[in-house]
Amino acid sequence: MVSESHDYTGLESALRRRHSNKIIEWHFRNKRSFPWRETRDPFKVLMAEIMLQRTRSDQVKKVFERFFREFPNIMSISETNWESIENLLKPLGLRHRIPRIKELINRLIKDYGGRVPDKYEDLLDLPGVGPYIASAVLCFGFQKSVSMVDSNIARFYMRFFGLKEEKKRPHEDERILRIAEFLLPRDKAREFNEALLDFTALICKPKPVCEKCPLKSMCKYPSKKN
């Protein structure tokens, strides 16, 4: 298991396989359904991730579906009065997000001909796109084998390996990023990342449901409570 030495090269391949298999098996029975998971369109994936920032998925689902009924692609958005787009996005709240989306769309049209770039550095250069969103677009939109770490996934790995918090933003902790990269099953990246998102929303949430966790025999967190 992982120690506080910050050297994770000693993680056994058997642990990696067992960890990922259990998460994916759990997800097969418990996966959530969202419209953005049914698409491989990088722009729809990008817009979904922007919409999901600090917003519940049930709120985003309605807006996402209506948005892409009205505007099936990025060029149809560019030909529309921006006020009508703002009205569609208002139910998401966070008013500062709307000008950012406008800037994002304009950048994609101006610099990439309406296409979403498939390189991590180019994605990071877009308005409103950070490491997590860039990784999500590469994985879900371009089918690339990349790991993803948001605050919930970081919390799960810290609990699982019994790590002490060293940063106020654990999802930026290099230890966690290395763990996520190591544990990613390269041939099942999309399934694994989706599974982690659901697992941290339903099981390893702020108040964890440890009794239902398929990884509890491997996890260091339950032992801390006893």
Same domain, 129 and 51: yes
* HEC assignment per residue over 47-90: HHHHHHCCCCHHHHHHHHHHHHHHCCCHHHHHCCCHHHHHHHHH
Question: What CATH number did the domain enclosing 107 receive?
Answer: 1.10.340.30
Which CATH number characterizes residue 173's domain? 1.10.1670.10
**Residues 218 and 171 reside in one and the same domain:** yes
130 and 168 in a single domain? The answer is no
Q: What is the pLDDT of residue 154?
A: 95
Under the banding of pLDDT at 50, 70 and 90, the label for residue 10 is very low
- The predicted model gives 125-147 an average pLDDT of 96
- Please check whether residues 45 and 137 belong to one and the same domain: yes
Identify whether 51 is part of a domain.
yes
Give residue 11's pLDDT. Answer: 52
Closest CA to 54 of 135, 150, 125: 150
Q: How many domains, in total, are found in the chain?
A: 2
User: Do 191 and 110 share a domain, yes or no?
Assistant: no
Same domain, 105 and 135: yes
In terms of domains, do 116 and 208 share one?
no
Question: Does a structural domain hold residue 3?
Answer: no
Domain enclosing residue 203, as ranges: 13-30+147-225
Helix (H, G, I), strand (E, B) or coil at 46: helix
Q: Which of 38, 106, 34, 39 is nearest to 63 (CA)?
A: 34
Are 161 and 121 in a shared domain? no
pLDDT of residue 13: 65
Whether the model clears a pTM of 0.85, i.e. scores above it, the answer is yes
The verdict on residue 1 lying in a domain is no
**Residue 35: inside a domain, yes or no?**
no
Q: Are residues 83 and 119 in the same domain?
A: yes
32-88 pLDDT, tens digit each: 999 999 999 999 999 999 999 888 899 999 999 999 999 988 888 877 788 888 888
What whole-number distance in Å separates Cα of residue 43 and Cα of residue 59? 19
Do 66 and 84 belong to one domain? yes
Task: Give the tens place of pLDDT for each residue, 89-128.
Answer: 888 876 777 888 889 999 999 999 999 999 999 999 999 9
In a domain, 7, yes or no: no
The reported pLDDT for the residue numbered 122 is 98
- The residue among 141, 157, 179 that closes a domain is 141
d(CA 14, CA 11): 9
